[in-house]
Structure 1
Amino acid sequence: MTAANYRACLDHVFKWEGGYVDHPRDPGGATKYGITRTTLAAWRGRSVTKQDVKTLTVATAGEIYRPKYWNAVRGDEIPDGMDLVAFDGGVNSGPLRGIRWLQIGLGVKADGAMGSQTLGAAQSAKAGVTVIQRACAARMGFLRKLGTWSTFGRGWARRVADTEATAVAMHTRSASAVAVEASRAKQVKAAQTTGAGGTVASGAGSGLFDLPDWAMSGVVVVAVAVALVLALNAAQNARREAAYRAKVREMSNG
C-alpha cells in the first residue's frame, strides 16, 4: 500500500497498451499508450489531432494516468496488487468499472465509488489473493459480453490473466505463493476440459433419446452451451496458468 507502486502498475499498463494504434473497430479511435484522442484533448483543454496522439510521450502519458486513473481508484490507499487490479481495469474500461470489479472481489456494494467502506474492506482484507482473482473474474465476465469480443477478446483475456498474476505477485511478494496459484489454475483447467468433453455426450445418454424431438433439441442446445462455457473457462485458466508460470520465472530470476 504505497505510492511507489504506481510506477510498477504504470509499467504494466504500458506493457499491454503499447504504442500508437488506430484500429477501425476500437471505439476509442486513435490511441497511444492507452491514451485516446478524447482523453488527450481533455488533458490539454483543447481539441487534438491524430498526429498529436501519435507524438504523445511516455512521460506525458504517465502524467495523465496519475490524476485521471490512479488517483480516481485511490491507488495510493489500497494494498499492492489490488491497486493494479483497479487501475488496469480502469484504464481498459473506465475507472468506475475498475472500482466495481475490485468491489465485487471484496464483496462490498459495487457502486463504483471508492469510499470509506471499500477502502476499509481493501485495507483489512485477509484473503487478498482471492479478492484479486474474483475481481479479475468479474472483469472477464464483462469483457466477454462486449460486441468487440470477437476482435479483441483474445488480447483482453491474456491481459486479464497477466494482470491477475502480476497483482498476486505484488500482493504476496512470494514466488512460491504464485506457483501455488499456477498449480490451482492447471487443476481447474483440467476439470473444465474434461467437463466440456463429456457434457454433450452425457446429455445425449441416460435414456434421453426417448424424449420428443422438441425436448431433445432443447437438451442438446443446453448441453452445447454448457460445454462452450466450460471450454472458454478452460482456455482462460490455461492463460492464467501460463501467466503465473511466467511470473514465477520472472521473480526467481529477479
Structure 2
Amino acid sequence: MNDLDATICELLDTLIEREGGYVNHPADRGGPTCFGITEAVARAHGYRGAMAALPRSEAEDIYLRLYWNRPRFDEVAKRSVRIAAELFDTGANMGPAVAATFLQRALTALNRNGKDFCDLVPDGRIGPRTLAALDGYLRTRGQGRGETVLLRALEALQGERYLRLAEKRPANEAFLYGWLANRIGEH
C-alpha cells in the first residue's frame, strides 16, 4: 500500500466514524442515510437493500469512487494531503463540486491579481488549470504556511455556506452546531 492509499483509507475511516451509522432525521432533506451516504446516492450507485443495512464496504466504495476519484481529489492529494482531506470531507457533506468550487475561488482570490497564476473559472471541476494553479500557489506560498492559509480560506467559505443554509431554511438549524463543531478546523 502506498502513501496515498493509506491516506484515503484513513480519511474514509475518519469520515465514516464521524457520519455514524443509519440516520433518518426528519429535518434532513436527504432522507435516510447510512455512513453519511444518502438513499438517493446509494440507489444511483446500484445498492437496492434497506438503508439501515448498507454495508460499510459499499459506503467506502461510493466515497472512493464518487467523492475522491471522480472529483480528482486524489490528484490534489499528490500535491497536498491536507488540502485533499479538507476537500474530501467538504465534498462528502456538501457535494464534491461545491468543494472544488471553494478551492477554485480561494486560489483565485489568493493569486495576487494573477501574478502567481491565472484566475480560475469556479466551475466545480478540478482539471489541469486548477491543478496548475494549486501547484503555483504552493510553489509561491509553501507547503506549510501556504497550506494553512489555503485551508483557512476553504473553511471560511464552508462556514459561510453553513450559516447561509441555516438562514435560508430554519430546519437546518438542527444541524448547524454539528456542522461547525465537526467539519470546520478538523484537518
Query: Post-superposition shift, 1:84?
Result: 1.2
Using the TM superposition, give the Cα deviation of residue 109 of structure 1 relative to its aligned residue in structure 2, in angstroms: 3.3
RMSD: 1.8
**1:56 paired residue number:** 54
Q: What secondary structure is seen at the aligned counterpart in 1 of 2:126?
A: coil
Given candidates 119, 122, 134, the residue that maps to 1:110 is 122
State the shift of 1:71 in Å: 1.1
Is residue 153 from structure 1 mapped to residue 176 from structure 2 by the alignment? yes
Is 1:81 paired with 2:104?
Answer: no
Find the partner of 1:128 among 147, 165, 184: 147
- C-alpha separation in 1, matches of 2:37 and 2:161: 21
Q: Which residue matches 2:22? A: 20
| Contact kept in structure 1, 2:159 and 2:180, CA below 8 Å | yes
Q: Does the Cα contact within 8 Å between 1:103 and 1:109 map onto a contact in 2? A: yes
**Matching of residues 1-254 of structure 1 within 5 Å:** 2-44=4-46, 48=48, 52-78=50-76, 79-107=80-108, 108-124=120-136, 125=138, 126=142, 127-146=146-165, 147=169, 148-161=171-184, 164-166=185-187
Structure 2: tracts of 5 or more residues without a match:
109-119
Q: Deviations over 1:97-126 (max 9, x none)?
A: 011112233224322110111112223422
Q: Name the structure 1 match of 2:114.
A: none
Aligned positions, number:
160
2 CA distance for matches of 1:128 and 1:6?
Answer: 19
1:73 and 1:114 in contact (8 A); partners too: yes
CA distance in structure 2 between the partners assigned to 1:55 and 1:42 by the alignment: 16
Question: Whose helix fraction is larger, Structure 1's or Structure 2's?
Answer: 1
Larger CA Rg, structure 1 vs 2: 1
Cα 1:81–1:31 change in 2 (3 A) is same
Kept in 2: contact 1:105–1:130 (CA 8 A): no
- Give the share of equivalent positions with the same residue, in percent: 30
Unpaired stretches in structure 1, ≥5 consecutive residues? 167-254
Q: Is the 8 A contact 1:10 1:62 kept in 2?
A: yes
Q: Take 1:66 and 1:37, find their aligned partners in 2: how far apart are those partners?
A: 17
Q: 1:100 and 1:120 mapped to 2: Cα distance?
A: 15
Residues 165 and 39 (structure 1), Cα distance of their counterparts in 2 relative to 1, 3 Å cut: closer
Q: Which residue of 2 aligns with 1:222?
A: none
